[in-house]
Amino acid sequence: MTVTLVLVIAMAVLFSCGVYLLLERSLTRMLLGFLLLGNALNLLLLTMSGAAGDPPIGKTADGITDPLPQAFALTAIVITFAVSAFLLALIHRSWRLSRADEVEVDEADVAIRTDRQDPADDDPELAEDDSPRRHDPKSPEDADDPHETTPHDTAPHTAPHETESRPRT
């Protein structure tokens, strides 16, 4: 096996483990998955930069290594470090507030997901049905619309200057 093949296999293992850990509900595992993805990205940049060459310090330009992939790798390291520090702060704050490391299920997201699994979403003939629409007050789409008329809004509105004024007593 060549060195490049070993790096590609290691990169694939790091990517797959990182994605697996990112899909967990534990914030700590998400952080570890993000760090594994960052290391896999650095291996990808190292592999794609080509064969090693001479350092760019010398008298001739023959056989020197391109410094651009190295600059990309350093940038990726800095970005991974900054985002992991931010994730650590989020994990610490979550632990201090709720003593939990798990991401909870949001009921509004579950309601939207079950609402979208309606058969009318898939079949256009059912979508043209005149059945009344279900109203969910928690849903952002069903929030109070100021332009929507309700039964108590059917009376004509009068401006304050149009009302009869009463004499003061």
Per-residue pLDDT of 5-44, as tens digits, reads 898 999 999 999 999 999 998 999 999 999 999 999 999 9
User: Residue 94, class by beta-carbon neighbours within 10 Å (0-12 exposed, 13-18 middle, 19+ buried)?
Assistant: middle
Residue 99, classed as helix, strand or coil, is coil
- Alpha-carbon separation of residue 133 from 20, 31, 115, 122, 142 (angstroms): 39, 42, 11, 16, 10
Q: Which domains does the chain have, with CATH numbers?
A: 1-52+67-127 (1.10.287.3510)
Check if the beta carbon of residue 41 is closer than 8 Å to that of residue 24: no
Indicate the residue type of 38. G
Tokens for 166, please give them.
């009463």
d(CA 19, CA 165): 72
How much is the pLDDT for 33?
95
Residue 25, classed as helix, strand or coil, is coil
Check if the beta carbon of residue 46 is closer than 8 Å to that of residue 73: yes
pTM assigned to the model: 0.60
Tokens for 139, please give them.
């849903």
- Would you say residue 163 has pLDDT above 90? no
Q: What is the pLDDT of residues 117-147, one digit of tens each?
A: 755 556 656 555 555 556 555 556 655 555 5
